[in-house]
Structure 1
Amino acid sequence: MSSKMQTLMFLLVLTISSFTVKASPSDAGIAIYWGQNLGDGSLSSTCNTGNYKIVLLAFLNVFGAGRTPIWNFAGHCGDWSPCTKLEPEINYCQQKGIKVLLSLGGAIGPYSLSSPNDAKVVGDYLYTNFLSGQFGPLGSVTLDGIDFDIEGGSNLYWDDLARHLNNIRQQNRYFYLSAAPQCFMPDYYLDKAIKTGLFDYVFVQFYNNPPCQYNIATSDATLLLQSWNAWTSLVLPNNTVFLGLPASPNAAPSGGYIPPVDLLTKVLPFIKHTPNYGGVMLWDRFNDVGNNYSNQIKVYLIKSALQFVTQVSEAIAASVSTALNALLPN
């Protein structure tokens, strides 16, 4: 076998292996925000449902500009009292294969970044206390990443924070970065950060945003699907996009709730064809408990096996064609 043919065969094996590992019809799932109501139940019980692939601890809502960091876990832990009781629960969730991220921001602050150097200080703090395995406010945990749910304060330097966290994960261990922008574009707070392409997950909030959310009064998904297409075209292919929804009508006073039957018939059949579709993000665990939303939709989120095979086949065919053009004489 010639060296060129050996190289070609090697490329083919790498290509097929890559798609087998990275693309799976079971990859799509549900991300849930936890921590804003005692009715959430424990973190362990949340993970025991088997409904979620990502749990976002909400929120670290005071930080930056020299502020002493404070979280608001709505009674699960006091404001910045040690919350080491969560350490075994976080470990339990991770042992079940569920990613646990700390979410920054939320609707109530104050939080902001005052300079690129302040972004570096905050990034170092997050890594040391939540991502490194050293003993910190949650115990000796190694969270799976950091979520940016920035809805207030200044819109400056969030891209600097994303870049600095990315530098840290490249030098140490890889952890995930996610962002939760509003569905109208551009998102005032996170546009520059999202355009860095550094976020593994983008949880777009298609609720409390009438210009780009589902209209329950008319059962019309037009504005939502237009916004979905815009978002999935904006972000890089390796940035997985989730459809952010309220888990009950009460979770979004300004609308955006989609009844499960409408989600399954009027939305999912269209968005699941998007290459960087990742599933559904729900706000929040408390509302999901009360409305049983995730149980009603979870089995419908994955791409069909036929669609998955078609996408993988097309990708492999494109890679083979590229390899052949590069290796074979003209």
Structure 2
Amino acid sequence: MAFTRRRPSSVVVAAALLSVLELCSLLAGPASAQGKTGQVTVFWGRHKDEGSLREACDSGLYSMVIMSFLDAYGRGTYDLDLSGHSLAGMGDAIKRCQFLGVPVSISIGGFGAGYSLPTNQSALALFDHLWNTYFGGSLNDTRRLFGDAWLDGVDMFLEHATPAEHYSTLALQLAKHNIRAGDGKLLHLTATPRCRFPDGRVKEALDTGIFERIHVRFYDDPGCAAGGFSAAEWDRWTAAYPFTKIYVWHSSLRYTAPATLRRAVLPVAQKAANYGGVMLWDRYFDKRSNYSGSIKNWV
């Protein structure tokens, strides 16, 4: 099937970066979501009682874990809120996940109002913080929260951003500097928008064309899909970004029976050539319900 590709605002830069990312994704092995289905990704870090990061990866249920959230930035201060989880031993847990082929990303944004990127300079400053704190940077005055462990990607979960903010600058900077982040590591650049297309908070960033995955939040957006999944919105997302894997967001808090997901949602979603899998919110609720275990063989 032929697709018409959306042209990014920075055509030359983004097209070159996308070509490299597509090539790298084919070589990335088990940690890459490109070219696969059957993927179940989960958010971790919002409940102290959800268990450890190591336990989540050892469960064998997930193809990626996204730590949430870096929820303060843009005003010269940065804060990673993991709901009381101790950072002690976190670096070893990240390495354990990576050894198992489960990449670990960090999500920026969240439900609070302590973040913004009002200028290009603030976007570049956030990149510097991310690169030197969680990835391959090594500035002497930067505290690396996880020691010498490097994360695998950045997710944009922008609940309170505006279309005027500079997330496209951040996205291009991440891709430009982290196509190969040392030792063959790849950066997984993802976004988790609300389901009504387009989501203006992240649209400019997505239109760069360099995102690997989009997790569409159907089950957390009653204004778009009051009954859950919206086939019309799904078609808009998958058609708009044909070179990006699109995931169905599911909230284990607002429960949709596994049989309903199997009969009513997945047969529609899987028709798209760029269907990627299911994103779950979150590890705490999934652990209580075993939702991922119930759907894993259907996804």
Match of 2:261 among 263, 269, 272: 263
Unmatched segments (≥5 aa) in structure 2 = 1-25
Alpha carbons 1:248, 1:291 under 8 Å: kept: no
Which segments of 5 or more consecutive residues in structure 1 lack a partner in the other structure?
1-17, 78-82, 250-256, 302-330
How much has 1:179 moved relative to structure 2? 0.4
Map 1:268-279; keep pairs closer than 5 Å.
268-279=266-277
The equivalent residue for 1:298 is: 296
Contact residue 107 and residue 152 of structure 1 kept, 8 A? yes
Report 1:1-330 matches (<5 A): 27-66=37-76, 68-77=77-86, 83-132=87-136, 134=138, 136-155=144-163, 156-170=165-179, 172-173=181-182, 174-213=186-225, 215=227, 221=229, 224-235=230-241, 237-249=242-254, 257-301=255-299
Query: What is the count of residue pairs matched by the alignment?
Result: 263
Q: Secondary structure at the match of 2:276?
A: strand
Distance 1:154 1:84 in 2: 35
User: Aligned-pair RMSD on alpha carbons?
Assistant: 2.2
Is the Cα contact below 8 Å between 1:30 and 1:298 reproduced in 2? Answer: yes
Structure 2: how far apart are the matches of 1:153 and 1:276? Answer: 27
Q: Is the 8 A contact 2:34 2:245 kept in 1?
A: no
Alignment deviations for residues 109-153 of structure 1 (CA, whole Å, 9 cap, x no partner): 300112112211111211111111756012211111111101114
Partners of 1:184 and 1:227 within 8 A in 2: yes
Give 1:232 deviation, angstroms: 0.5
Q: CA deviation at 1:185?
A: 1.8
Q: Pick which of 95-104 and 206-215 moved more.
A: 206-215
TM-score with structure 2 length normalisation?
0.82
Q: 2:14 aligns to what?
A: none
More helix by share: 1
Higher relative contact order (CA 8 A, sep 6+): 2
Identity level (%): 31
Contact 1:248 1:287 in 2 (8 A): yes
Aligned-partner residue type, residue 150 of structure 1: L
Q: Give the direction of change, closer, same or farther, for the CA distance of 1:26–1:197 in structure 2 (3 Å limit).
A: closer
Q: Which has the larger radius of gyration?
A: 1
